[in-house]
Amino acid sequence: MARMPIPAIGISAEVPYGNILFSTQIGAFYFASGNFEGLGIRAIAGAVWRPYDPVGFFAGLKAIYVDLELKNEVVDNLTLWGPAVGLEFRF
């Protein structure tokens, strides 16, 4: 089975405030081929607190929207969203 990347188009913004970085991103893709058609949108907003340069703690809200049609099956208006927390290391 051949696999190919599907490019996403989006926008991102970051605003630093001391050792806190506020950020937001939104991106989307659309793909149609034969019996498959899909639309996906991903959005995230949050803040990263970096007490040290290489270490950060992330907290925010993430949402994913999917609209797929595959042959005779349809996944219509599926939205997943909720809080996102994490730890990041920069090298």
The reported pLDDT for the residue numbered 70 is 78
Report the distance separating Cα 59 and Cα 51, nearest Å: 14
Give tens-digit pLDDT for 5-16: 667 789 999 999
In this structure, the strands spanning 55-70 and 36-52 are antiparallel
Q: What is the pLDDT along the chain (91 residues), one digit of tens a residue?
A: 455 566 778 999 999 998 899 999 999 988 887 777 888 999 999 999 988 888 999 999 999 998 888 777 777 788 999 999 999 898 8
The reported pLDDT for the residue numbered 4 is 59
Beta strands in the chain (DSSP E): 9-17, 20-33, 36-52, 55-70, 73-89
Report the distance separating Cα 6 and Cα 91, nearest Å: 28
